[in-house]
Amino acid sequence: MIEFRGVTKQFPDGTVAVEGVDIVIPPHKTTVLVGSSGSGKTTLLRMINRMVDPTAGQVLIDGTDVATVEPVALRRGIGYVMQNSGLLPHRKVVDNVATVPLLRGTSKREARAHALELLDTVGLDRSLAEKYPAQLSGGQQQRVGVARGLAVDPNILLMDEPFGAVDPIVRAELQQELLRLQEELGKTVVFVTHDIDEAFLLGDQVVIMQQGGRISQAASPVEILANPADDFVADFVGARRGKRALHVTEVDGQRLVVDADGRPAGVLAS
Amino acid sequence: MNWIWSNLDRVGELMLVHLALSVPAIILSFVVSVPIGWLAHRYRWASGVLLSLCALLYAIPSLALLIALPVFTGQRATSPVNLVVALTLYGIAVIVRTAADAFDAVERDVLQSATAVGYSTAGRFWGVHLPLAGPVLLSGLRVVIVSTVSLATVGAVTGVQSLGSLFTDGLQRGIQAEIIAGILATIVLAVVLDGLTVAVGRMVMPWSRPGMEAARSSSASPVEQADAA
Ligand SMILES: Nc1ncnc2c1ncn2[C@@H]1O[C@H](COP(=O)(O)OP(=O)(O)OP(=O)(O)O)[C@@H](O)[C@H]1O
Ligand SMILES: [Mg+2]
């Protein structure tokens, strides 16, 4: 379990990126931080592995204040996946996946063998192992990034817009893959995105952030749609418009569901 | 041309002497410049001062430097040490800015992700930042190689033997072929050293092969490819 208690981050230049955040991130579930650009999602995420230290408040992992944990050791125990994969361009795919085990002192042979298994796990062909990241497609690179994040079998996996830079088709594929993996592995995933559809698809808990790093609502997708905390949330999730403002209409005795623009979304099953 | 064939020994000998002057200077200037470049990259305030100092260094006339250096080194004016020191200083002047650029050019994302997965500060420098600065450092090194090999000839004027001695000797005795031999030998030396460096660079940085760029662009998303087309 990860817990934020009254967490504020003000950068030296005066920017308040996160203000007074209290949230509980439950274990073995996916929590998605969603909000527009600059709302403090990355800052919040990075306070978990001490890439950023809060200026007030505490971040606790299983009851331990992370401020008391040595940052390098802390990070080696937490998976991290970022946009553009963040792979090391000068290391082969297999060595990229093995990065953290090697840092932790696992033998090279063992680390590489395990890395190959991880390529299977994330659905990559082992023939890619000896290539360099630049020789892979964007989607393949992201998968390698996920494999690297999983390499030390961490309890916590932090993902910062991991699918933000790939085309929509590949993104959909990677999202399904993540759902499948999560079903299998049950990690505590904290996932950052600015795409509300992605948030609703992946999140057990969705945290909606607004400018200034405040949390508007943290709840399940169902709860958010049923009871948006305020107008900002309702507007942000588009509850009153487009493809989420559905209503039922009858055509030739069939009950159809149509969106706000009158486009059919489906048939109401009886 | 006859002169060259009958004096091949002499040319070969001077090439070795020339090599013995240039290589230490090249290595020294590289080894000294990399940390300076890193400081300039790391500390903004240092960057302006360091880079200007190095630019100034380059503005000192080489002959004046060679004549003045014995005062500081305590060596005889004809000692090769003076020349090596002078060449090193010029080498530093040539490469420091490139070294700073090399460190600047490494993607922030990659460095941040290295930190995020648990590299220590020192581990990140040696394992990520320095190797990724490698290709640009190498390009700087190549410039230093060529400029040092060429500049080393100036030592002949102050009595330090090198391929430059073929110029001074040829000029004094009016042997044109000797001057041409000196120029050719200098160029050959520079080209060979440069080629060797490129080969070693390929070996230690197989990931920076030119083909890799092509691989990167061909794996770009369909949208980008359409844009490029
Ligand atoms: N190192 C820093 N120094 C100063 N300000 C910063 C720093 N990092 C982030 N900020 C500021 O803090 C705010 C929140 O940034 P953050 O990166 O957390 O946003 P984000 O929600 O992740 O945005 P995006 O969706 O664009 O990634 C922004 O106003 C940003 O400019
Ligand atoms: Mg961000």
Ligand 1 binding pocket (C-beta < 6 A) is: A 11, 13, 15, 17, 35, 37-43, 194
Residue B116 Cα, gap to closest chain A Cα (Å): 6
Name the average pLDDT for chain A: 93
Q: Which residues of B touch A46 (CB under 8 A)?
A: 116
Q: What is the pLDDT of residue B56?
A: 87
Minimal Cα–Cα distance from B45 to chain A, Å? 18
> Cβ of A89 and B110 within 8 Å?
yes
* pLDDT tens, position by position, A192-235: 999 999 999 999 999 999 998 999 999 999 999 989 999 999 88
Q: Is the Cβ pair B223, A89 closer than 8 Å?
A: no
Q: Is B55 on the interface with A (CB under 8 A)?
A: no
Task: State yes or no: pLDDT of A74 exceeds 50.
Answer: yes
Compare CB distances from B221 to A84, A103, A138 and report the shortest one's residue: A138
Q: Cβ distance A140 to B217 under 8 Å?
A: no
- Give the separation between CA B221 and CA B9, rounded to whole angstroms: 60
Which residue has 């110029």 as its token pair? B167
Q: What is the pLDDT of residues B37-71, one digit of tens each?
A: 999 999 988 888 888 888 888 888 888 888 888 88
**What does the pLDDT read at residue B98?**
94
CA A129 to chain centre: 25
Q: What is the pLDDT of residue B1?
A: 66
Q: Which residues of A touch B113 (CB under 8 A)?
A: 80, 82, 85-87
pLDDT of residue B217: 41
Q: Could you report the per-residue pLDDT of A156-187, keeping only the tens digit for each?
A: 999 999 998 888 999 999 999 999 999 999 99
Give me the pLDDT at residue B120, please. 96
| Mean pLDDT within A80-99 | 92
The domains of chain A are located at 2-241, 242-270
Name the one residue in this structure whose structure tokens are 């490494």: B106
pLDDT at res. B67: 84
Written in H, E and C, the secondary structure of A93-160 is: HHHHHCHHHHHCCCCHHHHHHHHHHHHHHCCCCHHHCCCCHHHCCHHHHHHHHHHHHHCCCCCEEEEE
Q: How far apart are CA B168 and CA B153, in angstroms?
A: 10
B212 contacts chain A (CB < 8 A): yes
Distance from CA of A224 to the nearest CA of B (A): 32
Q: How far apart are the first and last CA of chain A?
A: 40
Distances in Å between the Cα of A68 and the Cα atoms of A64, A71, A261 are: 8, 9, 54
Q: How far apart are CA B52 and CA B10, in angstroms?
A: 41
pLDDT at A263 over 60: yes
Instruction: Say what the pLDDT of residue B129 is.
Output: 96
Show residues of chain A in contact with B219, CB under 8 Å: 134-138, 140
Q: Given this model, what pLDDT does residue B214 score?
A: 41
Write out the DSSP string of B121-164.
Answer: HHHHIIIIIHHHHHHHHHHHHHHHHHHHHHHGGGGGGGT--STH
Contact B131 A138 (CB under 8 A): no
Please tell me the pTM assigned to this model: 0.86
What pLDDT does B210 receive? 57
User: By percentage, how much of chain A surpasses pLDDT 90?
Assistant: 80
Q: Pick A80's closest partner by Cβ from B116, B128, B221.
A: B116
Does 3.40.50.300 match the CATH number of domain A2-241? yes
Mutation pick for ligand 1 pocket among A4, A7, A15 (CB with most ligand atoms within 8 Å): A15
CA A17 to ligand 1 centroid distance, Å: 6
The pLDDT > 70 percentage for chain A reads 99
> Would you state the pLDDT for residue A251?
86
List chain B residues with pLDDT less than 70. Answer: 1, 210-229
Tell me which chain A residues have a C-beta less than 8 angstroms from the C-beta of B116.
Answer: 46, 49, 51, 75, 80, 82, 86, 158
* A166/B219 CB distance under 8 A: no
Write down the pLDDT at residue B228.
Answer: 38
Q: What's the CA gap between A101 and A17, in Å, rounded?
A: 33
